[in-house]
Amino acid sequence: MDKTELNISELNISDEEKRVLEKTSNIPINLIFETYVVDEAFFCSNIFSDEEKKAFYNCAKALNENIKN
């Protein structure tokens, strides 16, 4: 599988979500065969705020869309 690198600024997500992602040191997203997986274990714990969870989810969707295009 080819490796694709993107800057957060290239993702189709809100500016607020980009700022949240830039402040987060560990984004729980894995890309597997052109799909996105958001690690549910992180979402079940309280280590991330609702704002971070929303940003992670939308980032995963944007990454998936970028791969498809």
Give the Cα separation of 60 and 42 in Å (integer). Answer: 14
8 within some domain: no
More confident residue, 31 or 62: 62
Query: Is a pLDDT exceeding 80 seen at residue 4?
Result: no
> What's the pTM?
0.57
25 within some domain: yes
51 within some domain: yes
Query: Is a pLDDT exceeding 60 seen at residue 1?
Result: no
7 within some domain: no
49 within some domain: yes
The dihedral built from the CA positions of residue 22, 27, 30 and 34, taken in this order, carries a sign that is: negative
Note down the domain range covering 42.
13-68
Q: How many domains does the chain have?
A: 1
47 within some domain: yes
